[in-house]
Every structure is written in structure tokens, then in C-alpha cells.
Structure 1
Amino acid sequence: MTTLATPVFDTRNYTNITKRILVKNVYQDSEPETIRIANLLGVAGVDVPIKEIVKLTPAFKLGVNGYSFVTTNNGYLLYHPDLRPMVCISLY
């Protein structure tokens, strides 16, 4: 099982920002800029079984000796056909 999540923002609000610039010891107002204000609404997430991801990789496209595997962006192995969990027990 793996989980996918993403933040959800409400980006409908806009506001005008005017900057004050110091020019020759005198403050001047710049042109007003319209910027978007994003309010965080929440987080959307879904759990996806690894078996469903494996179904998306058909064997005929991988070739005779090909296989698929899945890693995370940190380099952890999520799925491999020859994956065998290793348990390391150290006794002191």
C-alpha cells in the first residue's frame, strides 16, 4: 500500500499591493500590483495498493526478460518481483 497526498488551495481571492520605494531620501509609491492570495483548504489523499500499480505495467511491453519495480523519491524500494524482507536482529 502506498499513499499519495497533495495540498488543496483556494486561489480565488486577489488583492492589490503597493510598494513604497526610497528614491533620493523620498518615499514614492510604486504601481499597484495584483497578487493572488491562496488559502489552504486542506489535504487530499488516496491510498493505492501496489498490486493496482503493477497491473498498469503490461508484460508484453516490458519484453521477455523485463520487469517493473517502484522506488520512492528517497530511493526506498516499494515493489520488486524478487523483494524479500530482511530482518536484522542484533543482540547486545
Structure 2
Amino acid sequence: MSFAENLRNELIYSDIKIKELAHATNIPYTTLLSYMNGKGCLPNVDAGVKIARALNVSVEYLVTGKDDIYTSHVKSLYDIFDRITEQLQELIASIPKHK
């Protein structure tokens, strides 16, 4: 995904309007629109950091759509789910069957 798509998706996910992001980052509304139009306009590093902080994501996520911290958290959640599932299956198997 592109920066524009990642930014757009994160705004939707966070339920933040562009005007609110402009206010939170002190980046002009029209500048933010130019980042989102998908024509390759990218923010400088300072603006990218401001946007990432305001959206509570990493700059890496906005640029690549991937984030090592996010990936490791998701993997941890899957590991926990697998353990719970195994424990639940064992618990269910241990329940005496009534006829």
C-alpha cells in the first residue's frame, strides 16, 4: 500500500477527520489533502513524524503499511489465542459425557 492509502485507512480507523489532523499536527489542510490524493506527494520527515504521532502509529507503518511492533503484537495475540484454544479443547475433552 502507498502512503496515501495507509494515511486514508488510518484516518478511517481512528475516526479522525482531515481538519482534525491538520489542527493536531499544525499541517495545513490542503497539504494533508495533497498527501492523500495518491499522486506521489509525500511529506517531509518532520511532517511524517507529526502525522504518525497524531495517529498513534509509526512512520514505518504509514510509509510501508508494516510495522515490526504491530507485527509482533499480532503474533503474540495469535500465540495467546492458540494456547487458550488448546486449553479449552482439553477442558472440553475432560468433561464427562452423559447419556
The answer, yes or no, to whether TM exceeds 0.5 is no
TM interval, shorter chain, is under 0.3
- Higher RCO, 1 or 2 (CA under 8 Å, sep at least 6)? 2
Kindly indicate which of the two structures has a greater share of residues assigned to strand: 1
Choose 1 or 2 for highest CA Rg. 1
The TM-score normalised by the length of structure 2 is: 0.19
The TM-score normalised by the length of structure 1 is: 0.20
